[in-house]
Amino acid sequence: MTSAADIRIRAATESDWPAIELLDSVAFGYHPVPEERTLAKALMRVEDMVLATDDGHPVGLAAHLPLEVTVPGGQQLPTRGVSWVSVAPTHRRRGVLRAMFGHLHQQIAATGVPLSALTASDAGIYGRFGYGPATVAADVTLDRRFARFRGDAPDPGGVRLADATSAARHLPEVYDRWRRIAPGAQARPKPHWDFTFADPEGNRQGGSALFFLLHADGYAMFRRRGEDGQRTAVVEELVAATDGAHAALWRALCGLDLMDHVEASVHAADPLRLMLTDSRLVRTTRVADDLWLRIMDVPAALEARTYAADLDTVIEVRDPYLDAGGTFALTVRDGHAQCRRTDTAPRIALDLDVLGSVYLGDHRIRPFAAAGRVRAASDRDLAQFDSAFASDRPAVLGWGF
Ligand SMILES: CC(C)(COP(=O)(O)OP(=O)(O)OC[C@H]1O[C@@H](n2cnc3c(N)ncnc32)[C@H](O)[C@@H]1OP(=O)(O)O)[C@@H](O)C(=O)NCCC(=O)NCCS
């Protein structure tokens, strides 16, 4: 059996594309449609892909691509998105991923970005590399047949139907406005929009082509799944830059009389159920992590976001993987932070993945302390940290990279 010592790590080249596709499709169990190939080549530079080879044959792949991620307060931080991670089933659990990640993170560190991000197929893999889940997504099913809006629920209107051509003119601008105020959301490159509007049949998972609802400050795109008696409108994306757009779009979705259910992925604090006379009609079927963050540069990341309360603390951050950790004095005044390395004794000690989890304000620090993942000099230290790191906007994953 091959051991890690027999594995070579190298940058990919153009001639590796067939092997790259094969590794990815075997690992994730799909055959890419031609539009996915075009998208991958447009989004990813081959020199940002790391290959593991055994006797010259590619057996592992990991890549990183440029992103821009919004943090609380609205700054957009240059970020590397880690994607296309797979190891051949013939070479699992002998250190191939660890070896590839070493090279990949050297490359990421060399770009100087304060953040690195990914979405995870399995929650057990990436904590050891300093990544923590930073957003929470809830899959919900609404039994639309019985949904009634409360008398005081907003009814601003302003939604119109659109075909894909008209949606293509409207959506990117609305998304871009929204993502600049939504912590976690990323700039979305044009090739990804082209792929979205091309809506290849092989990517619809048995659903219809996309339908679009447009609002001046938002949009929804959905497909129909199922036949008579079990028809579901599956919302692929609902973006609302204002509460009015959110209410108007959900009212329009609830107007789809021949759909029995509406399925969507929303933030756990989404106000839809509060607008209905029967809140239980919105059933949560799954709650899961979404965007994972690794803080590559603690002072740069902590100074980039804004805070909800003043703070004077010293945090010890342990990075079990690279050297982003250390002890930092963190001072917040009027929402803005200064973060400097210090020799002062820490008031709060936590691992880098936990800092990644609480960074966008979606996860709070107290449950981590209760779980033994954070040590604080006193409960007051914890409470002050918690108040400062809160964010008034829920964090979200913008698009799945
Ligand atoms: C996930 C995957 C890339 C791991 O590759 P690998 O070469 O087997 O991983 P390694 O042997 O280098 O393991 C590195 C560490 O991660 C752990 N690990 C790897 N896969 C894991 C998993 N699925 N769950 C929990 N831990 C995992 C290993 O135990 C090891 O821990 P240690 O070094 O701290 O002892 C591989 O299983 C795979 O390709 N899976 C299918 C595709 C996929 O899920 N990709 C990830 C997309 S986000």
- Output the CA 287–ligand 1 centroid distance in Å: 23
| pLDDT at residue 228, rounded to an integer | 79
Q: With a 6 A CB cut-off, is 185 part of the ligand 1 pocket?
A: no
Does 97 contact ligand 1 (Cβ within 6 A)?
yes
Residue 77 sits at the vertex; the CA angle it makes with 72 and 82, to the nearest 5 degrees, is: 110
Q: In the predicted model, what is the mean pLDDT of residues 171-195? A: 98
Whether 121 is in the pocket of ligand 1, judged by its Cβ within 6 Å, is yes
The pLDDT tens digits for 211-264 are: 999 999 999 999 999 987 799 999 999 999 999 999 999 999 999 999 999 999
Among 83, 92, 97, which residue has the most ligand 1 atoms within 8 Å of its CB, making it the best to mutate?
Answer: 97
Q: How confident is the model at residue 5 (pLDDT cuts 50, 70, 90)?
A: confident
**125 CA from centroid of ligand 1 (Å):** 6
State the Cα–Cα distance between residues 279 and 261, nearest whole angstrom: 15
Res 89: pLDDT: 97
Q: What is the pLDDT averaged over residues 145-163?
A: 98
Asked if residue 61 lies in contact with residue 24, where contact means CB atoms within 8 angstroms, the answer is yes
Whether 46 has a pLDDT exceeding 80, the answer reads yes
Residue pLDDT, tens place only, 366-376: 999 999 999 99
Atom of ligand 1 nearest to the CA of 87: 39
Q: Give the closest residue (by CA) to ligand 1 atom 3.
A: 86
pLDDT-above-90 percentage for the chain: 97
Q: Strands of 115-118's sheet, edge to edge?
A: 7-11, 49-54, 57-70, 76-87, 115-118, 292-295, 132-133
State yes or no: pLDDT of 158 exceeds 80.
Answer: yes
**What is the residue with the minimal CA distance to atom 28 of ligand 1?**
93
Ligand 1 contact, 120 CB (< 6 A): yes
Residue 80 has pLDDT above 90, yes or no: yes
Best of 91, 125, 289, 353 for a ligand 1 pocket test (most atoms within 8 Å of beta carbon)? 125
Please indicate whether residue 27, judged by its CB atom, sits closer than 6 Å to ligand 1.
Answer: yes
Atom of ligand 1 nearest to the CA of 126: 16
CA 93 to ligand 1 centroid distance, Å: 6
Q: What is the mean pLDDT of the chain?
A: 96
Q: Is the pLDDT of residue 132 over 70?
A: yes
Are the CB atoms for 108 and 296 separated by under 8 Å? yes
Q: Is 359 a catalytic residue?
A: no
- Inter-CA distances, 313 with 20, 126, 300, 380, Å: 46, 28, 17, 11
What's the whole-number mean pLDDT along residues 311-336? 98
- Asked if residue 33 has its Cβ within 6 Å of ligand 1, the reply is no
Q: Is 148 in the pocket of ligand 1 (CB under 6 A)?
A: no
Nearest CA to ligand 1 atom 17: 125
Q: Quick check: CB of 341 below 6 Å from ligand 1?
A: no
Cα 350 to Cα 133, 289, 369: the distances in Å are 15, 20, 9
Tokens of 354: 């936990």
- 59 Cβ inside 6 Å of ligand 1: no
Q: How far is the CA of 157 from the centre of ligand 1 (A)?
A: 48
| Cα-to-centroid distance, 286 and ligand 1 (Å) | 24
How confident is the model over 193-208, as a mean pLDDT? 95
Checking if the pLDDT of 25 tops 70, the result is yes
Instruction: Establish whether residue 90 lines the binding site of ligand 1, counting it when its CB lies within 6 angstroms of any ligand atom.
Output: no
Contacts of 366 (CB under 8 A, 6+ apart): 382, 386
401 annotated active-site: yes
Query: Which DSSP string corresponds to 277-343?
Result: S-GGGEEEEEEEE--EEEES-HHHHHHHS--SS-EEEEEEEE-SSSS--EEEEEEEETTEEEEEE--
Q: Residue 268: its pLDDT value, please?
A: 85
The residue contributing the CA closest to ligand 1 atom 44 is: 121
Q: Retrieve residue 165's tokens.
A: 């051509």
> Residue 118 pLDDT more than 80?
yes
Q: Which domains does the chain have, with CATH numbers?
A: 4-113 (3.40.630.30), 137-289 (3.40.630.30), 296-389 (3.30.1050.10)
In angstroms, rounded to a whole number, what is the distance separating the alpha carbons of residues 285 and 264? Answer: 10
CA–CA separation, 290 vs 299, rounded Å?
24
